[in-house]
Structure 1
Amino acid sequence: MCGIAGFISLDGRRDPAWLDALGRTMTQSMAHRGEGSCAPYVSDCGTVMLCATRLAIRDRSHAGDQPMTDPTGRIVLVHNGEVYGSRSPAPPLWPRRTSCDTEFVLQQICREDEPGPALRPLDGMFALAWHDTTTGRVVLARDHFGVKPLFYAHVDGGLLFASEQGVLLRTGLITAEVEPEEFVLRSWIRMDAADDHTWLRGIRSLQPAEYLIIDRPHLRAHRYWKPTSVDEPIEADEIRAAFDRAIEQRSVSDVPRAAVLSGGVDSTAIVAGLTANGTPIDGYVLRYQDGIGGSGDDVTYATEVATRLGVPLTVCDLDQSTAASLVPVLPTRPMRPLLHGAELAMHHLYGTIAADGNVVVYSGHGADELWGYQDGRYFPVVDPLAPTYIHGRHYLTHLLHADERPVWARLVGWMAQELGVDMTEVTDRVWARTMDEYRALKTASPLKRGRHHLMRRFLVYVNDMVDVTSATFTLEDRPVFQDVTLTELAFRCPEHLKDTNKPGTHKGLLKAALGDLLPESVRLRRKQGFPSPADPGYVRRLTELADGIGTPFGLPPVPAALRAELGVGEWMFLASTSAWLDHLAEFTTDPRSHGEQFRPAVALADPGQRGRS
């Protein structure tokens, strides 16, 4: 886990001193993502700047520092994440100078003429940017699942990119603005990454399994991978072999390691798999206190598993006071309001893990989206050509929150009305934008299409949430189940084999494959999420917090009848939205805003030089 950033001029040469100053500011803004950094790379042609901060996991020597260049000097690379290997192994192009994964990625890039063949076989999580000094081409790329983020924005005559949106804002080259329509749409969708838009105007997110080619002045985006959907029965031993390989690949580390151990199927299998191959690991479990919600029996199951495996276990207690104090603080990291109580839990848990000296943490994110809770109740469950009354569109536009979360729906509807946003237009856009990934998978199975939507939308939301919370404490989170080989098996497998809808059959096939790693109590444990807390004391605490901060966007007070219905989730959303908007205002009132701190010390080259490499 590192951080990368950069600038590509689309209209000609820039002053090298300006580019260097910009790079140093961006590096400083993401210092929490790594323990060290080097000087930015500024191209001789004056059109490209790349910079990085490095969290050294393998080969902690300076030989692995970034930006990294191949022996010929042709390719310059910055890399965020961890690449464990390739599914198409090939001999090295030059004798390895390091044992770190950045040099491995650099060799893969140098081996291929086009990005797709270089990226497709990589095993791992990554966001990459590289400059071909011969052709002038710059490529930005993101891993298959979107575990590692990469944001970009068009600025005056150029393209700015970074691992975090806050790094883009710190440059002063873009203005922090919120579009009312986008705010209402994303609030309505709530926990799905709708598409490449973000909560901020003009900032885009590179999508999973995509790369962006910049051949000045042209930009082209391509998708290099998506799973193939067929219905072929797979055996439990195929899944187990892929899981064991994923564990082995992710066990390599030169720094201390920990694992989130909730006592569920996914985290238990991961910790058991790591201990089986001799990887030293400490377990951590979160315990909610004072009625603020969560899976109340996680500690019981986690303790049983840790005792069985001989793994030290730390219980991290989260109480009302601590949780409430985080609500106005955390939105400054993901650059959006808080939509899920998990953000508070993750922040508290990762903080404890890091304080104990750990650097790598293992988690089970992705197992549900690929192997569980897709039993016909998650939208959409029919083909898009089916009649509207049984159509996913009807669910999305009429039932998504109106039936499932009616108070949330009424709150968002009230905010839309006050902001002058037409909710009909919003729900139409929800349909159009979220359904792209449902349609993208070529299959007649509505369940597999829904599975693809889960992987490309909800899982991306989860990954972004995990990245910002872990990066806050300079941690690298390794989600074992987000593995390409495991995922291709999941999309090959008929959906009915995963869950028969009978008691105790949730993730039945996965449990069969990992059976010897799981105690019987874990195999029989019911699936639990994060229940909405309803403790009156916690509701009062968040109500007072929201009232103290003020209504978002300067809106009038919430109507009394609606206010009386609001619960923890709605008050958390209101308070965090106001805190987030106040934070954004800091970027527009900074006297150094709009790039004044990077105003070139000398004039740009004469017009005759602009556009040349």
Structure 2
Amino acid sequence: MCGIAGFISFEGRRDTDWMDALGRTMTDAMAHRGEAARAPYVSACGTVMLCATRLAVRDRSEAGDQPMTDPTGRVVLVHNGEVYGSRSPAAPLWPRSTTCDTEFVLQQVCREDDPAAALQPLSGMFALAWHDTWSGRVVLARDHFGVKPLFYAFAHGGLLFASEPGVLLRTGLVTPEVDPEEYVLRSWIRMDAADDHTWLRGVRALQPAEYLSVDSPGTPTTHRYWRPTPVEKPVSAEEIRAAFDRAIAERAVSDVPRAAVLSGGVDSTAAVAALTALDVPVQGYVLRYQDGIGGSGDDVAHAAEAAERLGVTLTVCDLDRENAAELVPVLPTRLMRPLLHGAELAMHHLYGAIARDGNVVVYSGHGADELWGYQAGGYFPIVDPYAPTFLHGRHYLTHQLYPDERPVWARLVTWMARELGVDMTAVTDLVWERTMEEYRAIKTASPLKRGRHHLLRRFLVYVNDMVDATSATFTLEDRPVFQDVALAELAFRCPEHLKNSGEPGSSHKGLLKEALADLLPDSVRHRPKQGFPTPTDPGYARRLAALADGLGTPFGLPPLPAGLRAELGVGEWMFLASTSAWLGHLAELRTHPRSHGEQSRTPVALAGPGPRGRP
């Protein structure tokens, strides 16, 4: 976990002092993402600025700080995330002076003139930016799955970019505005809104497996460097296990304390079991809702059983009604969006406990479901798998899916759209277009593989962005062990019907469970799929309704109709209250863009050997 940011001028040389001050402002705004920083890099030509904060996880010496330059001075690189290696390794270009992954990436970048050739074989999670001082090219890049985010905006005659949208806003060069149509669209589809748009007008997100290249001023272009190949060849449990073991071994390396989210499900239990088999010291954490606000505590029972079997210490993190309510107006300022689900609260609370115990690296199972689960076949209602894609369930997706699954939510968003003057037909047309873009993006007749690609490129990215924002708040690095290119390529090679055994209680991720069987207690292997529960307690709903009333209706809309108000539950009240809090935060940023919010626990240092990451 680190943070990167920068500016590329499209209007020629800029004042060096102005560029340096901009870099320091951006570095300070993302101080919570890392605890060491060098002074910003400003190119000799005066058109490029790069800056970074570093969380030192491997090789904690100051030699690994960023921006980092190769020995010839040709390439300057900033890097967020963790790269474990390359699937096509080559001999080092120069004797390495560090063991950190940033220098490894720098060698890969220097080796290849084509950015795609440098990026495609990398194994890990990353957001990168580099300046080739010989050619003048600047490249921004995001990892294969979008684990690490990268946002950008065209502002002040150039391109501004950062690991978080809030960093862009803190510069004062990007106006914190919300497009009502985009707000309604993203609210309508809720947990499936990841694409190159964001909740903020003019702020874009670089997409997974893409890079943006600026080869001449004012003409940036984006390119996709990887997509999984959907073929139909049998995959054995032994192949899956071998790839999983390699992924665990790569991610086991760390020079700082490690923890794991241990929910007692298949993914997290297998990860912790594999780590302990390698004698990696790891502490488990599980969330438990209190006051009946969201769950039965079933995770705790399964997690405790897994922890006892593995000899791992388990910490139970209790989230009660009052703490959950207090987070509602705070979290939107980190996520830069309203709260759409109970998971944001749970993740934030869990990561806070992990950090307070002195841990830095966290292992999680995000991504296993998208690659190996969701096999009921109902995610996309298909008329005919060989029919043109425009015939695939358009009416259901745009008019029935969301109202059928969340009728009260749909009525609330429809009311807001009407009051904001947003045409819901235009919104649902956009839902279809954006959904189908990734559904169509791979060449296969299999609707399930198309749907899986959509999940990988949209829903999983939504989860990754949420994980990054909540973990970065506490200067943590979350390592999702299943988001591995070799595992993904196996998942897209494997015929979908082989992933399910068809046996009662074990059809969800059946092939994956077979591959990981010796790592899982029987109770975990046969446990039904569960996610983070959404708070539902009526008392909590009343607490959130009072909070929403105190903050006022979003966008200054009129009071809710009495009939609609009476229907709202926890999710809807949380959404309304968090929207108002978020819009209030944006208004404050418009007035005081450089008044920095949360600061890191260790102040960031510039222009010198910075403080190392936490011991």
TM value normalised by structure 2: 0.95
* Structure 1 residue ranges without an equivalent (≥5): 594-613
Query: 1:295·1:529 contact (CA, 8 Å) conserved in 2?
Result: no
Q: Does 1:407 align with 2:378?
A: no
Question: Which residue of the partner structure matches residue 587 of structure 1?
Answer: 589
Measure how far apart 1:385 and its partner are: 7.2
Question: Which residue of the partner structure matches residue 220 of structure 1?
Answer: 221
SS at match of 2:469: helix
Q: Which amino acid aligns with 1:585?
A: A
Q: Which amino acid aligns with 2:578?
A: S
Question: Which residue of the partner structure matches residue 46 of structure 2?
Answer: 46
Deviation digits for residues 543-597 of structure 1, max 9, x if unmatched? 111111110000011100000000000000000000000000012122879xxxx
Measure how far apart 1:529 and its partner are: 2.1
SS at match of 2:440: helix
| 1: CA distance, partners of 2:533 / 2:66 | 43
Measure how far apart 1:374 and its partner are: 3.0
Deviation digits for residues 90-132 of structure 1, max 9, x if unmatched? 1100001100000000000011011000000000000000000
SS at match of 1:259: strand
Determine what percentage of the aligned residue pairs are the same residue.
81
Query: 1:375·1:501 contact (CA, 8 Å) conserved in 2?
Result: no
| 2: CA distance, partners of 1:70 / 1:295 | 54
Question: Which residue of the partner structure matches residue 491 of structure 2?
Answer: 490
Query: 1:70·1:106 contact (CA, 8 Å) conserved in 2?
Result: yes
Q: Which amino acid aligns with 1:323?
A: A
After TM superposition, list the pairs within 5 Å mapping 1:141-160 onto structure 2.
141-160=141-160
SS at match of 2:145: coil
Question: Which residue of the partner structure matches residue 458 of structure 2?
Answer: 457
| 2: CA distance, partners of 1:74 / 1:147 | 28
Measure how far apart 1:262 and its partner are: 0.1
Measure how far apart 1:419 and its partner are: 0.2
Measure how far apart 1:390 and its partner are: 7.4
Question: Which residue of the partner structure matches residue 479 of structure 1?
Answer: 480
Measure how far apart 1:402 and its partner are: 1.0
Q: Does 1:87 align with 2:87?
A: yes
Q: Does 1:544 align with 2:546?
A: yes
Question: Which residue of the partner structure matches residue 64 of structure 1?
Answer: 64
Query: 1:375·1:499 contact (CA, 8 Å) conserved in 2?
Result: no
Query: 1:131·1:138 contact (CA, 8 Å) conserved in 2?
Result: yes
Measure how far apart 1:387 and its partner are: 8.6
SS at match of 1:242: helix
SS at match of 1:159: strand
SS at match of 1:546: helix
Question: Which residue of the partner structure matches residue 30 of structure 1?
Answer: 30
Q: 2:536 aligns with which of 534, 537, 540?
A: 534
After TM superposition, list the pairs within 5 Å mapping 1:335-484 onto structure 2.
335-381=336-382, 386=387, 391-484=392-485
Measure how far apart 1:64 and its partner are: 0.3
After TM superposition, list the pairs within 5 Å mapping 1:288-299 onto structure 2.
288-294=289-295, 296-299=297-300
After TM superposition, list the pairs within 5 Å mapping 1:238-249 onto structure 2.
238-249=239-250
TM value normalised by structure 1: 0.95
Q: Which amino acid aligns with 1:307?
A: E
Measure how far apart 1:502 and its partner are: 4.3
Question: Which residue of the partner structure matches residue 197 of structure 2?
Answer: 197
Deviation digits for residues 486-512 of structure 1, max 9, x if unmatched? 000000011111125542221100000
Deviation digits for residues 263-300 of structure 1, max 9, x if unmatched? 00000000000000110000000001111114630000
Query: Residues 567 and 276 of structure 1: is their aligned pair in 2 closer, same or farther, counting only changes over 3 Å?
Result: same
Query: 1:194·1:433 contact (CA, 8 Å) conserved in 2?
Result: no
| 1: CA distance, partners of 2:294 / 2:419 | 31
Measure how far apart 1:401 and its partner are: 1.4
Query: 2:343·2:534 contact (CA, 8 Å) conserved in 1?
Result: no
Q: Which amino acid aligns with 2:323?
A: T
SS at match of 1:333: helix
SS at match of 1:421: coil
Question: Which residue of the partner structure matches residue 278 of structure 2?
Answer: 277
Measure how far apart 1:393 and its partner are: 1.5
Aligned residues: 593
Query: 1:381·1:450 contact (CA, 8 Å) conserved in 2?
Result: no
Q: 1:522 aligns with which of 497, 512, 524?
A: 524
After TM superposition, list the pairs within 5 Å mapping 1:320-335 onto structure 2.
320-335=321-336
SS at match of 1:144: coil
Query: 2:58·2:101 contact (CA, 8 Å) conserved in 1?
Result: yes
Question: Which residue of the partner structure matches residue 75 of structure 2?
Answer: 75
Query: 1:199·1:335 contact (CA, 8 Å) conserved in 2?
Result: yes
Q: Which amino acid aligns with 2:142?
A: R
| 1: CA distance, partners of 2:395 / 2:276 | 47
SS at match of 1:213: strand
Query: 2:338·2:582 contact (CA, 8 Å) conserved in 1?
Result: yes
Question: Which residue of the partner structure matches residue 255 of structure 2?
Answer: 254
Q: Does 1:559 align with 2:561?
A: yes
| 2: CA distance, partners of 1:388 / 1:514 | 36
Q: Does 1:172 align with 2:137?
A: no
Question: Which residue of the partner structure matches residue 578 of structure 1?
Answer: 580
Measure how far apart 1:427 and its partner are: 0.2
| 2: CA distance, partners of 1:219 / 1:390 | 35
Higher mean displacement: 350-359 or 533-542: 533-542
Query: 1:2·1:55 contact (CA, 8 Å) conserved in 2?
Result: yes
Query: 1:294·1:529 contact (CA, 8 Å) conserved in 2?
Result: no
Question: Which residue of the partner structure matches residue 510 of structure 2?
Answer: 508
Question: Which residue of the partner structure matches residue 598 of structure 2?
Answer: none
Query: 1:553·1:578 contact (CA, 8 Å) conserved in 2?
Result: yes
After TM superposition, list the pairs within 5 Å mapping 1:76-155 onto structure 2.
76-155=76-155
| 2: CA distance, partners of 1:295 / 1:524 | 18
Query: 1:92·1:107 contact (CA, 8 Å) conserved in 2?
Result: yes
Query: Residues 397 and 501 of structure 1: is their aligned pair in 2 closer, same or farther, counting only changes over 3 Å?
Result: farther
RMSD of aligned C-alpha atoms?
Answer: 1.4
SS at match of 1:178: coil
Question: Which residue of the partner structure matches residue 162 of structure 2?
Answer: 162
Measure how far apart 1:531 and its partner are: 3.7
Measure how far apart 1:380 and its partner are: 4.9
Query: 2:8·2:159 contact (CA, 8 Å) conserved in 1?
Result: yes
| 1: CA distance, partners of 2:193 / 2:594 | 32
Question: Which residue of the partner structure matches residue 306 of structure 2?
Answer: 305
| 1: CA distance, partners of 2:520 / 2:273 | 8
SS at match of 1:220: strand
| 2: CA distance, partners of 1:509 / 1:467 | 29
Q: Which amino acid aligns with 1:577?
A: T
| 2: CA distance, partners of 1:393 / 1:196 | 22
| 2: CA distance, partners of 1:291 / 1:333 | 26
SS at match of 1:316: strand
